[in-house]
Amino acid sequence: DGGITQSPKYLFRKEGQNVTLSCEQNLNHDAMYWYRQDPGQGLRLIYYSQIVNDFQKGDIAEGYSVSREKKESFPLTVTSAQKNPTAFYLCASSIGLADSTDTQYFGPGTRLTVL
Amino acid sequence: AQSVTQLGSHVSVSEGALVLLRCNYSSSVPPYLFWYVQYPNQGLQLLLKYTTGATLVKGINGFEAEFKKSETSFHLTKPSAHMSDAAEYFCAVSRGFNKFYFGSGTKLNVKP
């Protein structure tokens, strides 16, 4: 079955540590995205990538980093510079069309808690 | 700028009652429109989407939405609520790659 996988489902981090969230898709999509979700705030875009080896900052990129070395993978690193990292993180992908038909599909999410 | 407004952060209905979740968008040109559902601690699942053609769109789980250009609305409805419909629902619009805008979400509570 085609889809998007995220791991781990739950992640605990001590203050000052960097952690990496995994996102893999086998939909053959060019575009991938990372969102952060906080209660009552909807989804906020962290980073996005349209093609391999290229990515752009979203609305709240500070304290985060990404890489896109393979089409299928788009890992997100939450660095110690992120002041309030406790949140639910969602990865998504889309074909990457420039017109309005582009539809985003989501992974199951990773819940990060800072201890 | 694109924006999506979902009226009501929380909606409560009785089981068997009509579900109506409201979504309005701002755009001079009609975008593509989507509804997603999110169950607790899960990702977003696509319920339905409007592209072109028929303005009444049917989705999964008995939901449907009607695109009304004159009202710039895309409200989500279901004739009879079920307990399993309790979730958070997000309206979204797309203008293409990286031009995907989400509403702030509406939590649906279904009372027995």
Per-residue pLDDT tens digits for A32-47: 999 999 987 789 999 9
A50 and B97 within 8 Å at the Cβ level: the answer is: yes
Q: What is the mean pLDDT of residues A1-30?
A: 92
The pLDDT score that the predictor gives to residue A1 is 64
High-pLDDT (> 90) share of chain B, %: 74
Q: Which two tokens stand for residue B112?
A: 């027995």
The pLDDT score that the predictor gives to residue B30 is 65
- On whether any CB of chain A is under 8 Å from the CB of B95, the answer is yes
Provide the β-strand partners of residue B6.
Answer: B23
The predicted-structure confidence for B36-67, as pLDDT tens digits, reads as follows: 999 998 999 999 999 888 889 999 999 999 99
Place of tokens 């009501």: B8
Asked if pLDDT for residue B96 goes beyond 80, the answer is no
Q: What is the mean pLDDT of residues A52-61?
A: 94
Q: Which two tokens stand for residue B37?
A: 């559902």
What is the C-alpha to C-alpha distance for residues B38 and B36, in angstroms, rounded to an integer?
Answer: 7
Place B95 in a pLDDT band, splitting at 50, 70 and 90: confident
Q: Are strands B19-26 and B32-38 parallel, antiparallel or unpaired?
A: unpaired
Q: Which of A30, A44, A68, A100 to mutate to test the interface with B (most CBs of B within 10 A)?
A: A100
The pLDDT score that the predictor gives to residue A40 is 76
Q: Does residue B96 or residue B104 have the better pLDDT?
A: B104
Q: Is the bond preceding residue A8 a cis peptide, omega within 30 degrees? A: yes
Among A59-68, B52-61, B80-89, the minimum mean pLDDT is found in B52-61
Closest by Cβ to A104, choosing from B100, B103, B104: B100
The residues near A1 (Cβ < 8 Å, ≥ 6 apart) are none
Decide: B98 and B73 in contact? Cβ < 8 Å.
no
Tally the residues of chain B: 112
The pLDDT score that the predictor gives to residue A103 is 86
High-pLDDT (> 70) share of chain A, %: 97
B97 and A104 within 8 Å at the Cβ level: the answer is: no
The pLDDT score that the predictor gives to residue B3 is 82
- On whether any CB of chain A is under 8 Å from the CB of B98, the answer is yes
Among A44-58, A81-95, A96-110, the minimum mean pLDDT is found in A96-110
Q: How many CB atoms lie within 10 A of CB B13?
A: 19
Q: Does residue B3 or residue B59 have the better pLDDT?
A: B59
Kindly report the average pLDDT of chain A as a whole number: 92
Count the alpha carbons within 13 Å of B1 in the hemisphere toward its beta carbon: 4
Asked if pLDDT for residue A99 goes beyond 90, the answer is no
The pLDDT score that the predictor gives to residue B29 is 65
